[in-house]
Amino acid sequence: MSERRAILSGSTYEEQIGYARAVVDGDRVHVSGTTGFDYRTMTISDDVVEQAEQCLRNIEHALKEADCAFADVVRVRCLLPNRDDFESCRPLLRGRFGDVRPAAEMMVCGLADPRTKIGIEVYARRRKLTGCAHV
């Protein structure tokens, strides 16, 4: 039977809603839609690029807990309420994923908290024999 383990970030939403930041299921890592909240302070910037940077820091922390890194990401999905905000986030996303080239999509949709301007979810695959590549 494969390992299944929940990774918690400390977000109050995880407790209120009943989910985990990430789930490790064997060699697969599923990172929930992650927002730009700083989970230590539960604060969020008004700037979409700063939110995206914090999303990626939050995701990076979850991946490390799962013994993975951005190099192990096979799929990324960006969720934005405002389509125009995506343009300013592109350079940041390219900086993290440009060499990795995961499957990706951007969706325009409403997000639960009106302060949230971007959410990012990723799926990664842990490498069995050599361990995960760390960037």
- CATH code assigned at 31: 3.30.1330.40
Contacts of 30 (CB under 8 A, 6+ apart): 22, 23, 123
Q: Domain for residue 105, yes or no?
A: yes
Token reading at 23 = 């789930």
Residue 52 is assigned to a structural domain of this protein: yes
pLDDT of residue 29: 97
In a domain, 95, yes or no: yes
Judge whether 44 lies within some domain.
yes
Domain membership of residue 133 (yes or no) is: no
Q: Let me know if residue 130 belongs to a domain.
A: no
Say what the pLDDT of residue 134 is.
Answer: 44
Residue-wise pLDDT tens digits, 24-37: 999 999 999 999 99
Q: Is 45 exposed, middle or buried (0-12, 13-18, 19+ CB in 10 A)?
A: middle
Residue with tokens 């990324």: 76
User: What phi and psi values does residue 66 have, to the nearest 5 degrees?
Assistant: -95, 10
Instruction: Compute the distance between CA of residue 26 and CA of residue 96 in angstroms, rounded to an integer.
Output: 24
Q: What is the pLDDT of residue 128?
A: 63
Which domain covers residue 28, as residue numbers? 4-125
In a domain, 103, yes or no: yes
Residue 87 domain-assigned (yes or no): yes
Residue 135: predicted pLDDT:
42
Closest by Cα among 42, 30, 25, 134 to 77: 30
Q: Give the total number of structural domains in the chain.
A: 1
Q: What parts of the chain have a pLDDT lower than 50?
A: 129-135
